[in-house]
Structure 1
Amino acid sequence: MKLLGKALAALLALVLIASGIGAASFFYTTRRPFPQTSGSLRLPGLTSNVEVIRDAWGVPHIYADTPDDLFRAQGFVHAQDRFFQMEFWRRIGQGRLAELFGAGALEQDKFIRTLGWYRVAEAEVQMLDPDVRRVLQSYADGVNAYILPNADRLGAEFSVLGLIGRRWSPEPWTPVNTVTWGKAMSYNLGGNMDQELARLRLIERGGEALAEAVIPSYPEDMPVIVRSARGASQDATPPFPAAGARPSSAADELYRIHKAVQRAIGLAHDPGIGSNNWVVAGARTTTGRPLLANDPHLGIQMPSIWYINGLHCRVVNDACPYDVVGVTFPGVPGVVLGHNARIAWGVTNAEPDTQDLFIERPNPDNPDEFEFQGKFEPARIREERIVVSGQAEPVVLRVRETRHGPILNDVLDELKGRELLALQWAALRPGQLFKAVLLINRAQNWAQFRQALRYWDTPAQNFVYADVDGNIGYQLPGNIPVRRKGDGRAPVPGWTGEHEWVGSIPFDELPSVFNPSEGYIVTANNAIVDARHYPYWIARDWDYGYRAKRIEQMILAKDKLSVEDMRAMHFDAYSLFADEVLAALEGMTLALDAGPSEARSMMAQWDRACNVESTGCAVFEVFWRELSRAVFADDVGESLAGDVLADGTHAQIALRNILADPDAAWWDDVTTPERETREQVVARALARAVRILEARLGRDRARWRWGDLHRVTFANQTLGRSGIALIEGIFNRGPFAAPGSMGLVNAVSGDPQHFTVRSGPSWRAIYDVSNWDRSLGIHTTGQSGHAYHPHYDDMIPLWLKGENLPLPWSRQVVERNARETLTLTP
């Protein structure tokens, strides 16, 4: 991207400097893609007029007479505002980034082609119910009706790429392009490979004791979502495979490519990320009806991953049953998160273990055959031809698939010569995710909602629910494998048959709650069940519970909660972890110089809230990370330390556990001849934290502010990461001071060394069941994907301050807030 950026910067500068009308040309180029949003336009294929009413923030409510017209118009509107994003996303799903961005994207393309997302999506589309395929096709027809006649005005990004010869013309959108994005989302949200690879690397470095210390078991004092889940008792942490049964795993290389693909997708499923949802029954609210809050946390990007949209049949009946508002994915029909006339729903990631690595044993006489239970089976072979911009010939990738999945070693040179690893993953089977989305949009009660979720296969999510009858509920759906043996925490032999997947957890035995006696339900990526009392293995790697615990505290702190209370909860930045760490420090006698002593006082006097103006938060956030590093880095090594320390709430619990034990062996620095004490290590970490803060924020400690350290830039996924200020200035916005941190309800977090924010609340919503028009919602950036459009970045200031936008529902309120109306005609 840096080489691409330099070429773009040079050419763009020449255009602007050498031409007397350079500024005017630039103005024209950046504004030409702005769509028409008032008046009338023809949309071929409609059966009658469709109205698109936009408010002051560019949020469209679409009114139509038939589902075909409704989704055709939604595709048209998505393409108007976000087509470059849609094009980039579909190229991710197809493994075709290198066609536009050159050899720098080849590695990601090879990995995605090896997994075969697009091929699985093709098979899935063929298996979909005819009514679901019809919706996907209507949506695709709407996209094509906009992009094909407007090929030269779809986005400034295309114009800038054209300056260096990256010629492009729009290909028709197809239902497969939509379904493929579901696979990309599933890869990012549908497993726990980050933690599995991190744990495996720790074991290879220092044994299971080190892995358990750094990534401990879920704490017993943290909340469990479904307290009532019961079944046959099982060991909460099945034994790890014996060392002799674990050949070297190439975990370092796998971790690197896995993170590269996640970065390309742009969802940044970093260990410190966190999503929240909670629902409160009417007995606990000021309205007497349920309130439901949701803030799914995803990667920070420009534009936002979400697009707010209302979809309304003018007459709601069996023939046209859609009347729904919420957020959508550009490129996908329907509403993913939101409410209709009777129900509201929200999600957080369930963190299920749906990805296993199998060590395959090839036939010595034929590398395309693999042993299984004493016999050799032929692998499925396919060739992937990857076009790379700037190269005359395509790169040919030969992919081998065993019964467990594709062989990953053929992707990277670093993996060659090692044991062959195949990835088995639930999302590599065709599913019915989009049928679930459409059925949820139409559901009218708990029974219909649960029926819709039977088709939600991957990625498995924690759904909370509320309805106008006063009911609240929770349901975990998803295709979560049942293993013959083990839990998939490390690569296992693929030739024995001992570790095969033998099915999925039956839907009716997945955790579920309806109208719990507590009067509320909270999920925050924390443990869903107590694994000791649930008969199936869901996962071991959860968020470690601070967010869920804090949300429960705030719910119980008041007899009745209002919409405003829920909004304040979304923006809450109180650190329970800091409470515990600083309580442990109170009883310690530390030998400190003046600077560290003052820093200790700053933390002690701090109100525990990580707001942008907080000095105490700045000290604490640097200190605890330095303390974690001081405790474990000598044991795990510097390279691994950067990946697994201080970048996930497992690190917070690990540090909490160690602080409680002054005699723990981990306090000793194995690189020195003497034996260090807990107090010595704490004092050194505090002194180092002060030096870091002085280097970053100056020697005047009274002027230290968390927001001066903790910064967020909303970056375009492609050109915004070029490394060239001229290009990035066009497409990026920021940096801005950012509140929040890892492990807080307002979980805004990222790089643990430089405090650059990578993820945060992608959508904050509060649904008021008593009056849908009082609901609130906001995403990170703005509705438009066109740089310099008024709606490109207008939500950023509100999002940073924890404010929300009204989320109109009724036609009367939509019309009252209308700023523009576009009529689409047949």
Structure 2
Amino acid sequence: MALIFKWLLRIVSGLLILSGLAVALIYFFASRSLPEYSKDLRTGYVSAPVEIVRNNANVPHIFGERDEDVFFGLGYAHAQDRLWQMVTMRRTAQGRLSEVFGTRTVDIDQLIRRLDIYPLSVQSVESLSDHTRAMMTAYANGVNARINEVNTEALGRGAPEMFLFNAPVAPWRMADSLAIQRVMALQLAGHLEDEVLRARVSLLIPDEKRLSDIMPDEPGKGITALPEYAALVPGNPSFIQTADYEPHPLSPFKPRGLAGASNAWAAAPSRSAAGGTLLANDPHLELSAPGIWYLARMELSSGGVIGGTIPGIPAILTGRSARLGWGLTAAHLDDQDVLIEELNTANPNEYRTPDGFKEFRSRNSIINIKDSEPITLTLRWSDNGPILPGRFFDLKTVTPNGHVAAVSWTALSPNDTSMEAAIGLMYADNVRDAIDAAEKYVSPAINLMLVDRETIGFKTVGANPRRAALHQSQGRMPSLGWRRENRWQGRLPYASNPEFVAPIGGILGNTNNKTVDRAFPLHMSFTWGDTQRIHRWERLMQGRQVHTRDSFIEAQLDTVSFTARSLLPLVAADLWFTGESAPEGTPERQRQRALALLAEWNGEMNEHLPEPLIYSAWMRALQTRIIKDELGPLEPEFTHLEPLFIERVFRDVDGAATWCDVIQSSAKETCADMARLALDDALIWIDEKYGRNLESLRWGDAHQATHDHQVLGEVPLLKNFVNIRQSTSGGDNTLQRGKTIGRGPDPFLSGHAAGYRGVYDFADPDSSVFVIATGQSGHFLSRYYDDMAQLWRRGEYVPMSLDEELARAAAVGITRLLP
């Protein structure tokens, strides 16, 4: 027995030693790729020394004698901190993920190849000016300098992920940056899915009024400029099955409801306490670790520029110079159409056009797949755009036999000059210069919020398709591609895009809300990204005569839900404080406790409160009960609360209360009945998941921000190191927006939020602040991987200063790039 014990002890000890050595070896190789920020590096790409001074938040401040050298420094800094992210995004844009990740990403590659993202980017390089190409070339050289350094000095392949997913890293090209910019357009797009879903719902609900209930056009006039403050001071096919396409975490194609969003608002000197213009901006994208944003400062010949960049793109996309500040929001311009093409029964390689049948343009494309045989695709295009298989975007559910679906989309232009506009914006001196520079912007359509030292302005930028007045569906549903009136007829002039400069009221803002109300075909869109947050924003802006940097921050972090405040009185009107007190432990008693809590609630979606969870679970259960019998298999497509729908139903707008009656039952259910039953459903779900004690519930337990690593986030044990999870306030319809994922066992996880926040004060520009949601580094062993995460969660910021001495005084490292 003693001998057995002795050998067991030796074996266990040996295993522990081997495990320790393995961990030490893994750490050694992984840590080799940690960037060294204090060093000199000689490179043939620069003509004079370039300095990258990293302040105490690890924000690189880049100085050089020529602008090309500064862009080189930005490329080098991006590659130092986010090389894995950059090469993965490039592979996404090229449709080459499967070479590294195998069969799991084949669907992404197929869809990207069919959209022709990378070849179109290569073509677009020729459309850029010499100046833009020079800056982009310098940026690419900076990325390549880091790649060369990694290879020659054996720096752990540049990132820990490179060991697990080993693949050669090709040199960076200008087209790579243009392709990544197009990938961002994919993430912001949402009209295609809306078109298809509207068509599917119309097949089940032919009544136009009921279709307008569940998928309404946004009501009311457009809101961008607020009025003067003093004036407001008083005295076809029938298929309905769901397609089998499941998005991968790396997919740029986001589920409906999770396309781009953002907030931006500005105040003129007349509405600023300090007498300078103010600007706040927080773009919303899918959360990840590392996040998509990266903070940087570039000292150009025109002066310093500082703000948020996206690694791979050589431009500060939201930020400020000493003279100009700019922010962006998703414009939700309708820049996508689905066209149904009729095939020639005698020759399926031809499709019908207004002038007869015509042969598809086509070519083959090979997708290489790790550990599997390659796939050869036949890519096809009609005059209306690329042909997509029916399994993508649920297109097969609206495409009749003998037909295929084509997609018209401004993001597929072979002459996209959006990068030229983005770089030109950094050189602009004032609001008018910025609006002029943005004319070259094509896609994705965005709203630019602009301030200089004296003026505020707003301009929607991006190509707006010109549709015929007789378009069959006005772009709201798939239409027949061979009808001349359904085809795009170029683009509307830039001057027709909404523009507001120096409004009388002194306040501009956008929360993805409706900006203008113009009749088709000069309209912007029938569906927008927000009908709720805008009302809370209006109240906060008009609640003060003048604003400060801090009041703008307060608005940016506001967590009061206008939606909850407006819906609860409607939904619970017949339930508040009714009936006798029920016995303890009964469902009736639990319902009364929940209603008592909600009756005293002010709509604040605070992470520490129980009411937001009760409210959210109730509204989710209510919508499911109301639509399930009418929509059947399409009910899961509505993953988030549709506030306008609930309001129409409970106000009985145009007879919308009929939704409350269950078709399959003989009884006549009222909306009060549905509200009561749904509350019971919600409380049962809460009891099973979080416990029966309602007072001890926390919204933050359900509403955790999911900054997950897109590749390693599901790996056991490792996910505990690479994923960043945080209890957060806010919700789908608060200014501090934390859009819930809306599906799965944890539907209230926050997966889409402001990855960047910035507030710029031109009364004292160096008092401006910004922050990102995770950290500057993409290396999970770096102290800068998640050092801003808690600041972001608590609503704190870091200084956004162009003071060179301040950056140097607190520098964590200075890199000198030498000729």
- Correspondence for 1:554 among 540, 547, 552: 540
| Residue 606 of structure 1, CA deviation | 1.1
Q: Distance in 1 between matches of 2:239 and 2:793?
A: 42
Aligned partner letter, 1:510: N
CA deviation vs aligned residue, 1:120-144 (integer Å, no higher than 9, x gap): 1011012221221111111111111
CA distance in 2: counterparts of 1:310 and 1:622, whole angstroms: 43
1:457 to 442, 456, 459: 442
Contact 2:189 2:259 (C-alpha < 8 Å) held by counterparts: no
| Structure 1 residue 473 corresponds to structure 2 residue 457 | yes
Q: Within 5 Å, which residues of 2 pair with 1:263-342? A: 264-265=251-252, 270-271=257-258, 274-313=261-300, 320-321=301-302, 323-342=304-323
Q: What corresponds to 1:316 in structure 2?
A: none
User: Which of 616, 622, 626 is residue 621 of structure 1 equivalent to?
Assistant: 616
Which runs of structure 2 are paired with 1:791-806 in the superposition (5 Å)? 791-806=784-799
Whether the 8 Å CA contact 2:510–2:534 is kept in 1: the answer is yes
Amino acid in structure 1 at the alignment position of 2:50:
V
Kept in 2, the 8 Å contact 1:227–1:530? The answer is no
Moved more, 148-157 or 481-490: 148-157
Q: Which residue of 2 aligns with 1:646?
A: 640
Structure 2 partner of 1:437: 422
Q: CA separation in 2, counterparts of 1:126 and 1:269?
A: 34
Tell me by how many angstroms 1:585 deviates: 4.4
CA distance in 1, matches of 2:355, 2:253: 43
CA distance 1:272–1:668, shift in 2 (3 Å)? farther
For 1:150 and 1:825, locate their aligned partners in 2 and report how far apart those are by CA, in whole Å.
17
User: Is the 1:226–1:512 contact (alpha carbons within 8 Å) kept by the matching residues of 2?
Assistant: no
Deviations 1:386-414 (A, max 9, x none): 000002x4210001111011111277699
1:474-553 equivalences under 5 Å are 474-484=458-468, 485-486=470-471, 487-532=474-519, 536-553=522-539
Gap change, CA 1:342 and 1:16, over 3 Å in 2: farther
Q: Could you tell me how far apart the structure 2 residues matched to 1:376 and 1:17 are?
A: 73
State the alpha-carbon separation in 2 of the partners of residues 145 and 274 from structure 1: 35
Q: Aligned with 2:251: secondary structure?
A: helix
Does residue 212 (structure 1) correspond to residue 212 (structure 2)? The answer is yes
Corresponding residue of 2:674: 681
Matches of 2:736 and 2:696 in 1, distance apart? 24
Corresponding residue for 1:656?
647
Kept in 1, the 8 Å contact 2:105–2:248? The answer is: no
What letter corresponds to residue 223 of structure 2 in structure 1? V
1:224 is displaced (CA, Å) by 2.0
CA distance in 1, matches of 2:814, 2:183: 34
2:582 paired residue number: none
> Are the aligned partners of 1:477 and 1:507 in contact in 2 as well (CA < 8 Å)?
yes
Task: Sort the Cα spacing of 1:281 and 1:531 in 2 relative to 1 into closer, same or farther, 3 A.
Answer: same
Per-residue CA deviation, residues 719-774 of structure 1 (Å, 9 max, x unaligned), is: 21x3x32232232122x212110011011022225212110011110011122111
Residues 127, 223 of structure 1: CA spacing in aligned structure 2 closer, same or farther, 3 A cutoff? closer
Q: Deviations over 1:467-494 (max 9, x none)?
A: 01x1001101110101123321111111
Match of 1:50 in 2: 50
Look up the equivalent residue of 1:630 and give its one-letter code. Answer: R
**8 Å contact 2:741–2:751 — kept in the other structure?**
yes
Structure 1 residue corresponding to 2:704, chosen from 681, 687, 711: 711
The answer on 1:396 being equivalent to 2:376 is yes
**Displacement of 1:819:** 2.7
Supply the distance in 1 between the matched residues of 2:158 and 2:663 (Cα, whole angstroms).
Answer: 56
Q: How does 1:64-75 map to 2 (within 5 A)?
A: 64-75=64-75
Q: Report the residue type matching 1:171 in the other structure.
A: A
How many residues align structurally? 772
Aligned position for 2:557:
571
Q: Partners in 2 of 1:129 and 1:539 — Cα distance?
A: 31
C-alpha contact (below 8 Å) 1:43/1:142 kept by paired residues: no
Partner of 1:599, secondary structure, is helix
Counterpart secondary structure, 1:376: strand
Note if contact 1:16-1:23 (Cα within 8 Å) is conserved in structure 2.
no
Q: Does 1:167 align with 2:158?
A: no
Partner of 1:697: 690
Report what 2:103 is aligned to: 103
Three-state SS of the structure 2 residue aligned to 1:719 is coil
1:575-590 superposed matches below 5 A: 575-585=561-571, 587-589=573-575
The letter for the 2-side match of 1:463 is L
**What displacement does 1:274 show?**
3.5
Give ranges in structure 2 of 5+ residues lacking alignment: 1-13, 228-235, 580-586
Report deviation, 1:586. Answer: 5.5
How big is the shift at 1:53?
Answer: 0.8
Is the contact made by 1:268 and 1:299 (CA closer than 8 Å) also made in structure 2? no
2:489 is paired with a residue whose SS is strand
- Residues 507, 717 of structure 1: CA spacing in aligned structure 2 closer, same or farther, 3 A cutoff? same
Measured after TM superposition, the shift of residue 27 of structure 1 is 1.9
**Aligned residue in 2 for 1:317:** none
Distance in 2, matches of 1:266 and 1:55, equals: 35
Map of 1:729 onto structure 2: 720
Residue 434 of structure 1, CA deviation: 0.7
Q: What is the aligned partner in structure 2 of residue 352 from structure 1?
A: 333
Amino acid at match of 2:799: P
Q: What are the Cα deviations for residues 451-477 of structure 1, in whole angstroms up to 9, with x where unaligned?
A: 111011111111111101x10011011
1:265 Cα deviation after fit: 2.2
Q: Aligned partners of 1:354 and 1:655: how far apart in 2? A: 28
Alpha-carbon distance in 2 for matches of 1:187, 1:260: 13
Structure 1 residues 817 and 211 mapped into 2: Cα distance closer, same or farther (>3 Å)?
Answer: farther
Q: Per-residue CA shift, 1:395-444, capped at 9, x if unaligned?
A: 10001111011111277699495621111111111210110011100000
* Aligned residues of 1:74 and 1:333 also touching (Cα < 8 A): yes
2:8 is matched with none
Instruction: Find the residue that maps to 2:171 and give its secondary structure.
Output: coil
- Distance between the aligned counterparts of 1:175 and 1:627, measured in 2? 50
- Between the two proteins, what is the percent identity of the paired residues? 28
* Equivalence map 1:34-433=2 (5 Å): 34-151=34-151, 152=154, 153-161=156-164, 166-207=165-206, 208-220=208-220, 224-225=223-224, 246-247=236-237, 252-253=242-243, 257=245, 260=247, 264-265=251-252, 270-271=257-258, 274-313=261-300, 320-321=301-302, 323-391=304-372, 393-409=373-389, 415=396, 419-429=403-413, 430-433=415-418
Segments of structure 1 that go 5 or more residues without pairing to the other structure are: 1-13, 229-245, 314-319
Displacement of 1:182: 1.4
What's the offset of the Cα at 1:540? 0.7
TM-score (norm 2): 0.90
Secondary structure of residue in 1 paired with 2:46: coil
Describe the shift of the 1:717–1:270 C-alpha distance in structure 2 as closer, same or farther (beyond 3 A). farther
After alignment, is 808-817 or 622-631 more displaced? 808-817
Residues 617 and 272 of structure 1: CA distance in aligned 2, closer, same or farther (over 3 Å): farther
Amino acid at match of 1:494: G
Q: Closer, same or farther in 2 for the Cα pair 1:414/1:512, shift >3 Å?
A: closer
- Contact (CA 8 Å) 1:202, 1:210: kept in 2 or not? no
The structure-2 alpha-carbon separation of the partners of 1:269 and 1:283, relative to structure 1 and needing over 3 Å to count, comes to farther
Contact kept, 8 Å, 1:279 with 1:464, in 2: the verdict is yes
2:754 and 2:734 map into 1 onto residues whose CA distance is 11
1:273, distance to aligned residue in structure 2 (A): 6.2
Does the CA-based 8 Å contact 2:33-2:158 persist in structure 1? yes
Identify the residue that residue 589 of structure 2 maps to in structure 1: 594
Alpha-carbon shift at residue 268 of structure 1 (Å): 6.7
